Chains A and B, each alone.
Chain A
Amino acid sequence: MPAADPAAVAEARAKLDAHAVETVQWHFHESTGCPFWLEKKKELKFDPLTEVHSYDDLKKFPEFEDEWLRGGPVRRWVPQGLADKPVYVFETGGTTGVPKSRIAIDDFRTDYSNFSETLPDKYFPVGSNWLMLGPSGPRRLRLAVEHLAQHRGGICFCIDLDPRWVVKCLKKGQIDHANDYKKHCIDQAITILTAGHDVRCLFGTPKLIEALCLELEERGTSLAECGITGIFSGGTEFTPQWTKFCVEELFGGPAEESGVYMTPTYGNTLMGLACSEPVTKENGYKITYHAPEPRAVLEVVDFDKTDEVVGYGETGRSKLTTLTKEFFVPGFLERDEGEREPPHTMYPWDGISGVRPFSRLAGGTTVGVY
C-alpha cells in the first residue's frame, strides 16, 4: 500500500486545524451560528470562540448525543448566516419513533461533487446516465446520487424504496413479505436497465446489488450485458468477503476482465462520504475508508477512552466529526467499529478498515436491511 508522504500528512493536518477553527467561529458567533449551538454554548465550560485553536481542541466539547437530532424545531439547526437559503432536511432511522434529522443546504452537493473527483472516467463515463438503487424518501442518498449524476453530465433514474417498511416486516418475522418487497424494487431496476436509457452507472446497497445480479443471472443476462460499467456502493455493511463474491462471481472478475468496476463507500446522513482505497484481490479485498477531510473526520478511538485514538492496526470505535458551515458535529460516536489505518497517498490522513457493527451494541440494532 503506498504510504503517504509525511509532508502531505503535515499539510493536511494544518489544513484541518485551520478548518476546525474557522468552522467553530462560524457556528458559535452570534451573527452566524445556529440556535442550537448558540444555546448549547451557555452550558459549555469554555468559550469556543477563544479557546479552540486546533482540531484537537474540539475534544473540549462534550460527546455529541444523537438524541439531540430527534424532534424539533428543525430550524434550530439552521445557521443564522445561511437562514435565507432553501433548506433540506434528511432523516435517518425512524422505523419506530422520531427519526434523527439533519438539515442541509449545499453540503450533499459539495460532498458528492468532491467524491466525483475520485471516480475513474473509464468506468463512470462523463455524460452517462445513472440508476439510484437505494433508499429513497427522506434520505439524503437519493438527492445526493442524483446530483452526482448531474454533476457528471448524466441523468439519474430512481426507484422507490422505504427501508423502514422492510425493518417492520423483518421485526414481525414477515420474511416473505420483505423478500417480495425487495423483488418489487429489483423488478423496477431491471425495467429501467432494459428500457434503452443508456444507464452505465449505478448506486446500490450491497444487498440490492447482489439481488439485482442474481435476478439478472436468473433471466440469463448480467450487469455488464445491461451496460453497467461503474458501481458506487454503500449504505450498509460492506465486507471483504462480500466484495470477493461480488467481483469474482456476480461481476465475472476484476474490472479489467469483466468491465464492471465497483467502489465501496462509508457514510451517513451526518457525514459526507468516506472514500475507499482501491480494493483488489491482491490486498485481500480489504476495504479501507478515509473521510473527506477537512469537511469530516473519522477517528478510531478506544472503546472506553473515547478521546484517545487507538494505535495503527488496532481495533476501536468509529468517531465522527463533521465540520461544514451548514452542520457542526464534534465527536459523534458511531455504532461501528474497525481498525485504524495509516494515511494513504490519495488520502494523507488516518483511515478505518474492517468497518462492522459495534460489538458492544450487537443485537441492539437492525443493520443493513437493504
Chain B
Amino acid sequence: MIELKAIRWGEPYESLEVDEVNHFYTGEPVARVHCVGAGIIQRDAKKAVRARKALQAIPPAELVDRLKKAGELFESGTLAVGDGKQSPDDFIAQQSATTGMPVAMCKANVTKNAFVLKNIDTILDCLTRGLSLDTLARGYGDEGRGVIVSYQAQCDALGAVLPSNSPGVHTLWLPVIALQMGLVLKPGKSEPWTPYRVYAAMVEAGIPPETFCLYPGAGADIGGAILSSCRRSMIFGGPQTVAQYAGNDKVQVHGPGFSKVIFGDDCVDDWEQHVDLLVDSVYRNGGRSCLNASSVYASRHTKEIAEAMAAKLGPIEVLPPDNPEAGLAAFTIEGAAKAIWGSIESDAEAPGVTDMTSKYGDRLVERPPVAYLRPVVLHHASHESETRNKEQMFPMVNVVECPQAKMLSAMGTTLICSAITNDEAFRRDLINSIDIDRLNLGPIPTPQVDWLQPHEGNLIEFLYRSRALQLAGA
C-alpha cells in the first residue's frame, strides 16, 4: 500500500484525516491519502504568486525541455510517488485496481498523457496559434508587423477539480506549467494516481516542486475551496455541475459531451461503409469519455444502422480488467449501474424507442460489490423523442431518425460533431452553429483528437487576456 501525503506547494503534509482508496472489487486498501480541509487550501492560495515567480525564473524554452523529459519519465520511469517507488506497470495496476478500468484502457491513457508532455512545444504552438511563449512570459511582444501585442495572465496558478472516471482529461491541464503558472489539483477520489505521477515526473525533470499543490480526498468543500480561491479553475462533473458554473468566467467546466455522428442526406445511403467508425466512436475508451458519441443522427436507414451497431456492440462481454480485450469498466458506486439500467429500461418503453441490443443478452451484469453495463443501442423513430440525446458513462448510443433540416435544432449542445456529408450548404450550417464545439467534417471518429487543435475551450484564452500595452517612444 502506498501513502500519498497532501502536497502544499511542494511540501508533503501529514494530515490526521487519512482516507483509504480501495481495490474496486476486493475492497483491499491500495493507497492511504492524506486529506485536508478548505481552510488549508484558502490559506495556501495566498502563496500562489510564489509558484508563478519560481516558474518565471525559468525561461519557457527550458520549461518545455523539462516537460518533455517529464513526459518520458511519466511513460517509462520508475518514480518516487508518495512513500514508495512506482514503475509504469505499478501505476497502471494501481489505477485499474481503484477505478475498475481495464488495464488496456489505463495503458492507452498513459500514452495519451505522455504524448501531450512529449509534444508540449507543438501543442503549445497550436494553443497559442503560433505566438512565442517568450511573449507570454515577458507580458508583451511584437506581432511581427510592428504592432505590440500583450497578454495579461489571469492567475498565478490554475485550480483543477479532477474526476475519477477518465484519466484522459488530464491532458487539459498538463500545459499549464509551461505557461509559468502553478497547479492546484484535487485528484479524483479513486484516481489520485495520474496527478501524483505527473507531479513526480515533473519534479524529477526539474520543475520546481513549490509550483504544485495536491489535495486528495473526498469532500465537496475541498473542490469549492479550490474554485473560490483560484482565479482560474477547471472542474469536471455532470450536468448539474455544468449548470452551476455556466457563465462563470473564472471556471472552465467540463461535463457530458453529448457528442454525435451525423449523416447528411447526400451520404446516408452509404452508411454501411461507416459502421466501424460509428462503433469506434461509441466504444473507444469504454464509452466513458465526453469524446464518445452518444447519438447518431440520420434521415433514413436508422433502423438498419442501429441493427448493424447492435450486432457489433451487443455481444461484447464483461472481461476481467487484466484481459487485453477488456473494454468495459466497472461501476464502482453501489447501485449506480442498476439505477442507470432502470432509467434506460424506462426510456426504452417510450413510444418509438426500441432497445436494439435486447436480443444479445442481459445488459446489467452484477458482480458484487460492483456491476457492469454492456453496450446499449437505442433506436429513436422520431427526433422528438425526449431521450434522444441522453449520455451515459458506458457505451450507449441513441440512433435517431431525423430530417436533415431538423438536425441542428434536435441535436442541441454537442461537444464533438462528426458530420459525414459533402453538402456544402449543410456544412456551412454546421460551421455556423454555436451549439457545436469541435466539428469534424467527414468520416472521423469522435474520439480522434487532433492535438494541434484546441479542445473544450482554448486554455490560452482561459488563462490570458489580450490587452493594450503602449511603450513610450516605440
Task: Check if A and B associate.
Answer: yes
Q: Which residues of A contact B (CB under 8 A)?
A: 173, 175-176, 179, 210, 214, 217-218, 239-242, 244-246, 249-250, 284-285
Q: Which chain B residue has the least Cβ–Cβ distance from A172?
A: B244
Candidates B43, B224, B227, B240; contact of A249 at CB < 8 Å: B43
Contact of A217 among B15, B16, B38, B43 (CB under 8 A): B43
> Shortest Cβ distance from A119 into chain B, in angstroms?
25
A175 touches B224 (CB 8 A): yes
Number of A-B residue pairs at CB separation under 8 A: 44
Determine the chain A residues whose CB is within 8 A of the CB of B43 once the complex forms: 214, 217, 249-250
Are the C-beta atoms of B244 and A241 separated by less than 8 Å?
no
B37 near A179 with CB under 8 A, answer no
Q: B17-45 interface mask toward A, CB cutoff 8 Å, 1 = contact, 0 = none?
A: 10000000000000000011111101100
Q: Is the CB of A241 within 8 A of B39?
A: no
Indicate if the CB atoms of A175 and B228 lie closer than 8 Å.
yes
- Which B residues are CB-close (under 8 A) to A210? 37-39
Q: Select one of A175, A179, A241, A246 contacting B36, CB under 8 A.
A: A241
Closest to B38 in A: A210
Residues facing A in B22-81 (CB within 8 A) are 35-40, 42-43, 46
Q: Please name the residue on chain A nearest to B18 by beta carbon.
A: A241
Shortest distance from the beta carbon of A182 to any chain B beta carbon, whole Å: 11
Residues of A within 8 A of B35 (CB): 241
State the majority secondary structure of interface residues on A. Answer: helix
Whether A244 touches B42, Cβ cut-off 8 Å, given contacts A175-B224, A179-B228, is: no
Q: Which residues of A contact B38 (CB under 8 A)?
A: 210
Range, interface on chain B: 10 to 19
Within 8 Å by CB of A239, from B17, B42, B224, B243, lies B17
Assess whether B228 is in contact with A244, with CB atoms less than 8 Å apart.
Answer: no
CB distance from B415 to the nearest CB of A (A): 22
Residue of A nearest to B224 (CB): A175
Q: Are A173 and B244 in contact (CB under 8 A)?
A: yes
B residues near A244, Cβ cutoff 8 Å: 15-16
A217 neighbours in B (Cβ, 8 Å): 43, 46
A to B CB contacts below 8 Å, 29 in the list: A173-B240, A173-B244, A175-B224, A175-B244, A179-B228, A210-B39, A214-B39, A214-B43, A217-B43, A218-B46, A239-B17, A239-B37, A240-B16, A240-B17, A241-B15, A241-B16, A241-B35, A241-B36, A241-B37, A242-B37, A242-B39, A244-B15, A244-B16, A245-B37, A249-B40, A249-B43, A250-B39, A284-B16, A285-B16
Contact residues in B for A214 (Cβ distance below 8 Å):
39, 42-43
Residues of A close to B37: CB separation below 8 A: 210, 239, 241-242, 245
A-B contacts besides A175-B244, A240-B16, A244-B16, 10 pairs, CB < 8 Å: A179-B228, A239-B37, A240-B17, A241-B15, A241-B16, A242-B37, A245-B39, A245-B40, A250-B43, A284-B16
Which 9 residue pairs of A and B lie closest in terms of their CB atoms, listed nearest first? A241-B16, A241-B17, A210-B39, A240-B16, A173-B244, A241-B15, A214-B42, A244-B16, A242-B37
**A240 contacts across to B, CB distance below 8 A:** 16-17
Chain B residues lying within 8 Å of A249, measured Cβ to Cβ, are 40, 43
Residues of A with C-beta under 8 A to B40: 245, 249
Contact partners of A245 in chain B: CB under 8 A: 36-37, 39-40
